[in-house]
Amino acid sequence: MDVVVKTLAFVMVFGLLVVFHEFGHYVVARWMGVQVLSFSVGFGPVLVRWVRGPTEYAIRALPLGGFVRMLGDDAAGPLDGLEARDPAAFHNKPVWRRMLIIAAGPVFNFILPIVVLFGASLYYDAQVLPARVGTPIAGGPAAHAGLQPGDTIVAVDGEPVGSFDELVRQIGRRADRRTRLAVERQGRAAVVEVTPRTVVHAGAAEVGVVERVGRIQMSPLEQVATIAVRPGSPLWLAGVRSGDRVTEVAGRPVETWAQLSGALGTAPQTVPIAWVPIGDLPAVAKDKAATALDGLHKQPARRASVTATGGATDEPSEASLRDRWGALPGHRLIGPLLADSAELAAGLRAGDEVVALDGAPVPGIESLFDQLKLPYESVLLHPQYRSWAAADRVQRLRAAMTPRRLDLVRTLTPDRLARVRIDQAEFKAGTRTPVGPWQGWLAQAPPLDDSGLVRWTTAYAPQVHVGKDDRPSLRIELVSLVDRVRPALIANPRPVLHAWNTTLEQFTRGSMLILATTAELFKGNAPIKEVGGIIRMAQMTSEATDHGLERLIQLLAALSINLGILNLLPIPLVDGGQLLFLAIEAVRRQPASLRVRQIAAYAGLTFLGLLFLVVMKNDLQALFTR
């Protein structure tokens, strides 16, 4: 059944691309008064045929495209007497009309993605995330500016915003510019000034597509009450440890850090709490990573009465919660790690707290991630990056990723501490050989105390991975231990404007990437093996189908843009080549000779034949490698 669905999806995508292209030629040809002899959907033997006026319409056996045949449209062949004199023949129309007819196919390929993306956005974005602060990322501009969980941003520099997507769009245009945010906070209006940080998106640097946008580093999702605990604090003495999740304060359930902050901030001197200890989760497979956080807090809840130091405050802050209870948001706690990852090889474990990177304090895992990728991005942004050979790019990127020093804190349960002490004694006695950074550190470290709190250091370098297409990518498999909950969606306040902005952004970004890739291919800076054909398209359609209709629509839009651009290239036998000849005819005031057109047709046919062979080779090679 899955194969049937994917086959139908491929037929639909490929057929719609080509039929819509040919439909463009058909509609404009009729509009320009050219006689259309036939319009066929598919190729091969005719299944259904009907005639309306001078045009034959047909559905053929192979649903992989279509074609339009007009009177007098064979530019490389001689014309008979009737065609030469017929005013409805293509060649008898003014140059500008013929150019419109030829350009209509690629233009319709650009119209198709606009239509499908716009419609998809209207449907999928009928409900949107509000422009509400869920979690200011530790160390980011939003946190420095004082934005708080629950703040609703209503305007950016006076321009109203009604959804989180609109907020992202407005902030993205203001990189490194001081920006005024109009905020609603607990029913009161406030103004917060923030300077969005420039973030570089260099995922297509090999073809020169590098995007710089502004970000204030704020998530619309609200972090749960997974906390870090100060040693010796009231919570610590009650048995709560870093990585545990508080579920109840004074009999009231809490889910998020904001709820926990409010409950503890106004709680009396002594208060009963309940919490779920963090489990000992092993490394997870990549396909289980998305749900790995769900398995960290499955132990039975524990309860205790906690006596705070100091009195309650009217407006609790992180500093007061830290000083009074010992509670801190778990920004620096490492989440589940992937099996066979560089992070696991460096000795890191889920629940570890990253304190410093090369001696500099780390505000949170997201900030650590940004710091670790800076050397990689500096190579991507090198002015000569595009001109380097693929192997040279990888070599330079790997050379930039030198090992970094991570200072960590690991909290051990009493049982785990006892086992680690046995391991340490065996290492020091020489009866066992330490394996890996953690055991190597244990072998050299002084005996551990009874607190279960271990401060240790390891070297870690993110890995540069090279895919089958020779494109490098940086793998940093670090995620935060603190899960986040999605807020309730709201009705899109401006669905049409939102859909248009989303469509325009996706269309522009896709067109830039395809244009840049095509240009680099002709320059020789991009490997020719990146060019794929129908087999590659079938693979892409299959993968998109696995992710649902929305991903399939996005693929359809990208392929349609790609087809439109390729058809505009000045290659004989494709629309771009015909447009070039018509432009020359417009300048010379006479068409090229029949011999010139025939030679161009043979040259174009040879080029397309060679391209077909290259594409088939790439497709088959990718298929068997896969």
pLDDT digits (tens, 9 = 90+) for 378-426: 998 888 888 888 888 899 999 999 999 999 999 888 888 899 999 999 9
Q: Which helix (H) or strand (E) holds 605?
A: helix 594-625
pLDDT tens per residue across span 455-503: 999 999 999 988 766 778 899 988 898 888 888 899 999 999 999 999 9
Confidence of residue 112 (pLDDT cuts 50, 70, 90): very high
Instruction: Give the pTM.
Output: 0.81
Q: Which of 92-96, 513-517, 578-582 has the lowest mean pLDDT?
A: 513-517
The more confidently predicted of residues 455 and 269 is 455
Per-residue confidence (pLDDT) for residue 111, from 0 to 100: 93
What would the pLDDT profile of 433-446 be if each residue is shown by its tens digit? 999 999 999 999 99
Half-sphere exposure of 431 (CA within 13 A, CB side): 6
Of 293, 297, 283, 323, the closest CA to residue 244 belongs to: 297
The CA-atom distances, in angstroms, between 490 and each of 126, 128, 129, 130, 163 are 8, 6, 6, 6, 8
Distance, in Å, from the CA atom of 573 to the CA atom of 570, rounded to the nearest integer, reads 9
Nearest alpha-carbon partner for 483 in 289, 226, 275, 244? 226
Q: Decide if pLDDT at 530 tops 70.
A: no
- The per-residue pLDDT for 176 is 92
Other residues' Cβ atoms within 10 Å of the Cβ of residue 96: 11
- Residue 620 has what pLDDT? 61
| CATH C-level class of 227-413+452-485 | mainly beta
* Mean of all residue pLDDT scores within the chain: 85
Three-state SS annotation for 289-358: HHHHHHHCCCCCCEEEEEECCCCCCCCCCHHHHHHHCCEEECCCEECCCECCCHHHHCCCCCCCEEEEEC
Quote the pLDDT of residue 268.
83
pLDDT at position 611, please? 65
Q: 218: part of which helix (H) or strand (E)?
A: strand 218-219
* pLDDT at residue 375 in the model: 94
**Of the candidate ranges 64-78, 116-130, 605-619, the one whose mean pLDDT is the lowest:** 605-619
Residue 346, pLDDT above cutoff 60: yes
pLDDT for the residue numbered 314:
58
**pLDDT of the residue at 532:** 66
- pLDDT surpassing 70 at residue 531: no
Taking the C-alpha atoms of residue 143 and residue 151, their distance in angstroms, rounded to an integer, is 12
Q: With DSSP H G I counted as helix, E B as strand and the rest as coil, what are the percentages for the chain, rounded to 5?
A: 45, 25, 30
pLDDT band at 133 (very low <50, low <70, confident <90, very high): very high
Quick one: pLDDT band at residue 1, thresholds 50, 70, 90?
low
Residue 192 DSSP SS3 = strand
- The residues assigned a catalytic role are 22
Count how many Cα atoms sit within 13 Å of the Cα of residue 482 in the half-sphere of its side chain.
28
Phi, then psi, of 442 in degrees rounded to 5: -60, -40
Q: For 28-38, write each residue's pLDDT tens digit.
A: 998 998 888 88
Instruction: Tell which CATH architecture fits domain 135-220.
Output: Roll (2.30)
Mean pLDDT within 208-229: 89
The domain locations on the chain are 2-124+495-583, 135-220, 227-413+452-485
pLDDT surpassing 70 at residue 235: yes
pLDDT above 80: residue 623: no
Query: pLDDT category, 548, cuts 50, 70, 90?
Result: confident
d(CA 195, CA 197): 6
**pLDDT above 60 (res 626):** no
Instruction: Report, as an integer, the average pLDDT of 522-547.
Output: 72
The pLDDT of residue 74: 65
Same fold for the pair 135-220 and 227-413+452-485: yes
**Per-residue model confidence as pLDDT tens digits over 80-92:** 555 566 788 887 8
The residue-averaged pLDDT of 132-147 equals: 91
| Of the ranges 116-120, 268-272, 471-475, 535-539, the best mean pLDDT one | 116-120
Other C-beta atoms closer than 10 Å to the C-beta of 119 total 13
pLDDT at 118 over 70: yes
Q: What is the pLDDT of residue 160?
A: 92
What are the CA-CA distances from residue 555 to residues 143, 257, 294, 450 (Å)? 37, 39, 32, 57
Question: What share of the chain in percent tops pLDDT 70?
Answer: 90
